[in-house]
């Protein structure tokens, strides 16, 4: 039986949570990836099979609010944003939580401000070895209340195993992301380590392994994302690939395949068992599920898609990338971004800025809107987005009529 987490009621919803619960009960093995269609007549919302709080996020949210409850008489600090969702982080701050670092790594609170009586909580992304040491010097154990995602910790353990067996660790991730910074910090304790951002960089690294590019190219491309003392001629002979858990699992597999083939070309297929470590079991199941559910959502089709989540959320950004390749897509933080049927504010990934689009809502009816969100977005926020859009349509079917196929002891109302 799956573990049940105690999530604050204000993060749950009478619509999305109800549909999720029904589908979980009727498809416990999660084999049916078909989206859910909520047909209100003039508008149909196409909900992805998997989205919203994953195991790691639910674990973090539960621990965070329990920490607040158990330590109401103490100052509570988080190393950085617990998860990449502005609504969740704002709620924690309003309850007195302070962040020591920004998500970009800027030091917001000096170490000397902390005392041994304070509570410091590790966010879901984990903490670097350097930060752990800094806290230990001040008599603080950040792992008393540890919200690090278990799948992140699994990557760390596998990286340590790779290092102890003489492999170099390649981290597929964004070098500036909190999780990758933490993973890199732990990995270099045991192994030469280099961070690879994407397939383009993987191909460059592969050509360096083959000897088609000079070792000097390595330092031009990866000099700022590799461990100190990294020697490309020595340290690219045996590799294992792990990832930032919020990266697309399919892309991590491609990165691994590119490097596996480069090693085969250089040292021979017969030596692959020696030169390349299979680390596919470290990929986060939730990221994988959300990715496959997004593909199914896209295949179903819609007039447009709304993707909800924090603008600095890596996994949400990847969902946006998948959707916008197939249909008009708007990346929102919440219902407040939907100004009117004629105006919407949304984050544009390739420009990394919020823009306003006019006449975003097509006029034809019925209208199909794909709706999904990132792994750190509460169901309640998706509810608010759905209800905001629904308010623009005349004479829709009632909520209870639409949700009738999804029985609940708590009827949903608008």
Q: How confident is the model at residue 409 (pLDDT cuts 50, 70, 90)?
A: low
- pLDDT per residue over 324-379, tens digit each? 999 999 999 999 999 999 999 999 999 999 999 999 999 999 999 999 999 999 99
Position 238 pLDDT exceeds 50: yes
HSE-up of residue 48 (Cα within 13 Å, Cβ side): 29
From 58, 81, 178, 179, the catalytic residue: 179
pLDDT given for residue 1 in this prediction: 46
Task: State the DSSP H helix or E strand holding residue 55, giving kind and residue range, or none if neither.
Answer: helix 55-70
- How confident is the model over 271-300, as a mean pLDDT? 93
Task: List, by residue range, all CATH 3.40.50.11270 domains of the chain.
Answer: 57-136
Tokens of 250: 């399919």
| pTM assigned to the model | 0.92
CA atoms of 68 and 54, how far apart (whole Å): 21
Residue 98 DSSP SS3? strand
Which residues are bridge partners to 47 per DSSP?
36, 371
CA atoms of 386 and 409, how far apart (whole Å): 21
Is the CATH number 3.40.50.11270 carried by domain 57-136?
Answer: yes
Domain 9-54+286-402: CATH class, spelled out = alpha beta
Higher pLDDT, 281 or 398: 398
Position 216 pLDDT exceeds 90: yes
Position 283 pLDDT exceeds 50: yes
Nearest of 209, 368, 203 to residue 302 by alpha carbon: 368
Q: How confident is the model at residue 2 (pLDDT cuts 50, 70, 90)?
A: low
Residue 308 burial (CB < 10 Å; 0-12/13-18/19+)?
A: buried
- pLDDT per residue over 50-59, tens digit each? 999 999 999 9
Contacts of 66 (CB under 8 A, 6+ apart): 6
Task: List, by residue range, all CATH 3.40.1010.20 domains of the chain.
Answer: 9-54+286-402, 150-283
CA atoms of 155 and 371, how far apart (whole Å): 31
Q: What is the CATH topology of the domain spanning 150-283?
A: Cobalt-precorrin-4 Transmethylase; domain 1 (3.40.1010)
Position 168 pLDDT exceeds 50: yes
Mean pLDDT of the chain: 95
What are the CA-CA distances from residue 206 to residues 163, 200, 202, 234, 262 (Å)?
Answer: 20, 10, 6, 14, 5
CA atoms of 59 and 4, how far apart (whole Å): 9
pLDDT given for residue 247 in this prediction: 93
Is 179 known to be catalytic? yes
């Amino acid at each position: 039986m799956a573990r049940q987490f105690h999530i604050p009621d204000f993060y749950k919803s009478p619509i999305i949570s109800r549909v999720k619960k029904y589908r979980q009960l009727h498809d416990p093995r999660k084999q049916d990836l078909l989206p859910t269609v909520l047909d209100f007549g003039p508008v149909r919302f196409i909900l992805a099979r998997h989205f919203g709080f994953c195991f790691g996020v639910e674990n973090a949210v539960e621990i965070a609010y329990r920490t607040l409850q158990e330590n109401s008489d103490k100052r509570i600090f988080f190393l950085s944003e617990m998860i990449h969702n502005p609504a969740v982080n704002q709620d924690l701050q309003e309850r007195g939580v302070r962040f020591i670092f920004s998500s970009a790594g800027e030091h917001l609170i000096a170490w000397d401000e902390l005392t041994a009586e304070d509570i410091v909580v590790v966010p879901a992304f984990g903490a670097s070895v350097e930060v752990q040491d800094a806290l230990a010097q001040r008599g603080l154990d950040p792992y008393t209340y540890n919200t690090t995602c278990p799948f992140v910790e699994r990557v760390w353990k596998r990286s340590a195993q790779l290092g102890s067996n003489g492999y170099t660790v390649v981290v597929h991730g964004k070098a500036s992301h909190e999780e990758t910074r933490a993973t890199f910090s732990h990995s270099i304790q045991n192994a030469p380590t280099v961070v690879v951002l994407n397939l383009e960089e993987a191909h460059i690294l592969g050509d360096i392994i083959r000897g088609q590019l000079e070792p000097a190219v390595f330092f031009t491309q990866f000099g700022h994302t590799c461990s100190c003392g990294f020697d490309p001629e020595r340290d690219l002979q045996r590799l294992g690939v792990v990832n930032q858990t919020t990266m697309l699992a399919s892309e991590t597999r491609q990165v691994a395949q590119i490097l596996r083939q480069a090693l085969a070309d250089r040292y021979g297929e017969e030596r692959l068992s020696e030169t390349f470590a299979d680390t596919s079991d470290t990929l986060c199941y939730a990221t994988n599920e959300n990715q496959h559910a997004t593909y199914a959502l896209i295949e179903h089709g819609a007039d447009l898609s709304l993707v909800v989540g924090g603008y600095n959320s890596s996994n949400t950004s990847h969902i946006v990338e998948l959707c916008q390749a197939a249909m008009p897509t708007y990346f929102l933080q919440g219902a407040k971004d939907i100004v009117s049927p004629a105006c919407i504010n949304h984050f544009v990934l390739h420009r990394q800025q919020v823009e306003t689009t006019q006449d975003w809502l097509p006029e034809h009816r019925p209208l199909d809107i794909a709706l999904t969100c990132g792994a750190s977005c509460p169901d309640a926020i998706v509810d608010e987005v759905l209800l905001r859009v629904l308010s623009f349509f005349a004479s829709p079917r009632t909520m209870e009529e639409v949700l009738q196929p999804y029985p609940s002891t708590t009827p949903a109302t608008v």
